[in-house]
Amino acid sequence: MMKKLIVLAFAMLLASLALAQEAPDALVRQVTEEVLEIVRKDKDIQNGNARKAVDLVDAKVIPHFNFQHMTALAVGKDWRKASPQQQQQLTSEFKTLLVRTYSNALTGYKNQKVVYRPFRMNPGDTEVVVRTEVQQPGNQPVQIDYSLEKLDAGWKVYDVSVAGISLVTNYRDQFGHEVRNGGIDGLIKAIAAKNKSLEGNLAKADGK
């Protein structure tokens, strides 16, 4: 029994190591297919159940994102003005907002097909872009690009763009505006207030 457990633990360790070393394009493909497989079977998510979509994104997608880098990109030059504690708060609030955005996009899924564009990288690359395309009959294909960087913990996504629109840098002007009005703390408050109102929407939906 003990021996079996040890073997199992060892196998799991190997599997997680293999995942961390996985090529970035294979990682994107694996996570995308895994998430779509779940959405295809889940009528609740397809009917717009935001709570379930958020849980799915939390479990499957979040571990592969570097939110600190994403937040820095969204905030832009003001990021350097923030103290480490403020940076941490910003990252935590922005993460909640992005997860929500990403989940909303998932509930719009209706049997589209995801195609993976040809991927090339050099052995020493530490930053790459993996390009995919979502195809739907009668509609223009939508280009979705993932920017990844190589960290000790493996490849992590630090930017996602849909039809050329970065979900991250699209906030730069709005965030800059909040910082000019109320400083870094003002920005933290503004994102927190947004998250709170979205949480209100979720609670209302749960009550239905």
Residue type, 101: T
Distance CA 80, CA 5 (A): 48
Residue 164 within binding range of other proteins, rule CB under 8 A:
yes
Dihedral-angle region of residue 63 (phi above 0 means left; psi in -120 to 50 means alpha; beta otherwise): alpha
Distance CA 22, CA 200 (A): 39
Residue 101 within binding range of other proteins, rule CB under 8 A:
yes
Alpha-carbon distance values, 190 to 102, 174, 177, 208 (Å): 20, 10, 11, 28
Q: Binding segment for other proteins among 17-25, 37-45, 51-59, 97-105 (CB under 8 A)?
A: 97-105
The correct pick among 19, 26, 36, 198 for binding other proteins (CB under 8 A) is 198
Q: Which is nearer to other proteins, 19 or 114 (CB)?
A: 114
Q: Which is nearer to other proteins, 86 or 169 (CB)?
A: 169
The correct pick among 65, 67, 79, 146 for binding other proteins (CB under 8 A) is 79
Distance CA 23, CA 18 (A): 10
Dihedral-angle region of residue 202 (phi above 0 means left; psi in -120 to 50 means alpha; beta otherwise): alpha
The correct pick among 6, 13, 165, 203 for binding other proteins (CB under 8 A) is 165
- In the complex, the residues that contact other proteins under the rule CB under 8 A are 48, 69, 72-73, 75-77, 79-80, 97, 100-101, 104-105, 107-108, 110, 137-140, 143, 161, 163-167, 169-178, 180, 190-191, 194, 198, 201
